[in-house]
A and B are shown apart, each in its own frame.
Chain A
């Protein structure tokens, strides 16, 4: 059981380039999330999805787009990368609104924007 898988694990971009991070979960979870982790700031929510075909903004959505075309996948896109987007990105999932809120995390994607 793979759980939550993120690809790629590492990426270096130049300012202005675009890229997509892929998150895949095999637990049939309804909810999926993208967070970024920066030193001293904990985890900040970028975007999330409560089901296939739905997305919503989190705390820091600017500069990012997301899509949830399939239930098991949640894509995070950077349209025009900026150095401020250098971070470690984590995807997470959970079952449904009826549970108590436990999140399952991927191992992270480290992005550097030069």
Chain B
């Protein structure tokens, strides 16, 4: 069965430093991968997606993600973190058996210290 894993419950980074939030996936075919962000007391917002093509995907708010097929990973990155990036980040994969559904990871809390 397909799944996504976010191995870190929390990531701490200093403002101005690069950040990485990790995600690995397990699917049998070609994955459709997504990143969402949730700010406190808000709903999830779409950041970016990988469907096919270039392995480096650019999204909202300066975020990007790198698709690595050999490592089955889709890590979220940003060159220079902002305090306002502090939020909960979710990785998701489209369900191969039911393409109208997304399977979410458990989330990673990003804390950016000033």
Residues of A within 8 A of B (CB): 4, 31, 33, 40-43, 45, 48, 50, 58, 90, 92, 94, 97, 100-108
**Complex interface bits, B82-114 against A, C-beta within 8 A gives 1, otherwise 0:** 000000001000100001111011110000000
Is A101 in contact with B106, judged by CB distance below 8 angstroms? no
Chain B interface residue bracket vs A: 20 to 34
Q: Is the interface of B mostly helix, strand, loop or mixed?
A: loop
Is B106 in contact with A31, judged by CB distance below 8 angstroms? no
Q: Which residue of B lies closest to A107 (CB)?
A: B43
With A90-B44, A102-B34, A108-B42 given, is the CB distance from A42 to B104 under 8 Å?
A: yes
Contacts of B102 in A (CB 8 A): 101, 103
- In whole angstroms, what is the CA distance A43 to B104 when docked? 6
Contacts of A31 in B (CB 8 A): 100
- In whole angstroms, what is the CA distance A38 to B106 when docked? 9
11 further interface pairs, Cβ-Cβ under 8 Å (given A40-B9, A100-B49, A100-B94): A42-B105, A42-B107, A45-B101, A58-B101, A90-B44, A100-B32, A100-B51, A103-B36, A105-B44, A108-B41, A108-B42
With A41-B106, A43-B90 given, is the CB distance from A103 to B46 under 8 Å?
A: yes
Contacts of A33 in B (CB 8 A): 101
Is B45 interfacial (CB 8 A cutoff)? Answer: yes
| Highest count of chain A CB atoms <10 Å: which of B43, B45, B101, B102 | B43
15 contacts between A and B (CB under 8 A): A4-B43, A31-B100, A40-B106, A42-B90, A43-B90, A45-B101, A48-B100, A94-B100, A100-B94, A101-B94, A101-B100, A102-B49, A103-B102, A106-B43, A107-B43
